[in-house]
Structure 1
Amino acid sequence: MNTEEFVQGFYKEKQDIIKEYLSRKPTTSVGALIKSLNLSDHQNKIMEEIINNTCTDIYYSILLGLEGSAAIGGVQQRYDLKDSSGNQLNDGDIGGYAYEYFQETN
């Protein structure tokens, strides 16, 4: 795995979560709660935007925090991230890929 694949994994998780939360047959408690609201099509679109923007903020912040560009819980430091094969995942470009995936393609 490389840095871009690492960030892509977070982006894929975001997309999967949004899809699950807005599913007609949700399997999560959040999805079930949203479904229970019986939202109109217009309201569903707004809910999708809310969830998308919330997830973008969260994942982007976590990735920048891991890189050391932002604080996690008030502590700002760079973390040494490696996959099980020893490949360095935090090569200093997490922020660039995070911006590309979470801000440009949001």
Structure 2
Amino acid sequence: MSPEEFVKNFYVEKQNILHSCFNSQSEYKSITSIKIEELNLDEIQTEKLKKIVSGLLTDTFYTILLGLDGYASIGTIQESFKIYDEENNLISDDGDLEGYAYEYFHRE
């Protein structure tokens, strides 16, 4: 897996979580989607909340990726991490994720 594929998978996961939060048609609803449904929001309010949740998820995933890359702290520690796959192939080394993370999470 390349650094870009790694970041893209985080982005796909963000989109999946966002979708599950606002999917009231699913047989298996998330706790978040149930809570949002209980708010009885109209369409405009739902879209506003969706943008807020999307922004929160973007900030969270982007910060995690930058934290792994050494460009942001995770908790109180800021250092870069090397990321390997199950076969011990290097996916990311110092600074490999930041550019892709910006591209995927801030191009919206």
TM-score by length of 2: 0.92
Greater shift after overlay, 18-27 or 46-55? Answer: 18-27
Among all aligned residue pairs of Structure 1 and Structure 2, give the percentage whose two residues are the same amino acid. 40
Is 1:49 aligned to 2:57, yes or no?
no
Q: 1:84 aligns with which of 83, 86, 92?
A: 86
Q: 1:37 aligns with which of 35, 39, 50?
A: 39
Mapped to 2, the partners of 1:98 and 1:89 lie a distance apart of 14
Amino acid at match of 2:8: Q
Match in the other structure for 1:16? 16
**Pick aligned residue for 2:100 from 91, 97, 106:** 97
Give 1:85 shift: 2.2
The alignment's C-alpha RMSD in Å is 1.0
Aligned residues: 105
User: Alpha-carbon deviations, 1:52-86, whole Å to 9, x = none?
Assistant: 10000000000000000100001000111101122
Q: TM-score, normalised to structure 1's length? A: 0.94
- Worse overlay, 85-94 or 3-12: 85-94
> Any stretches of 5+ residues in structure 1 without a counterpart?
none
1:90 deviation in Å?
Answer: 1.6
| Secondary structure, counterpart of 2:75 in structure 1 | coil
Pairing 1:25–2:10 present: no
- In the alignment, the residues of structure 1 paired with residue 88 and residue 105 of structure 2 have an alpha-carbon distance, to the nearest angstrom, of 26
**SS of match in other structure, 1:89:** strand
In terms of fraction of residues, the more strand-rich structure is 2
Which segments of structure 1 move beyond 2 Å, counting only runs of 4 or more?
A: none
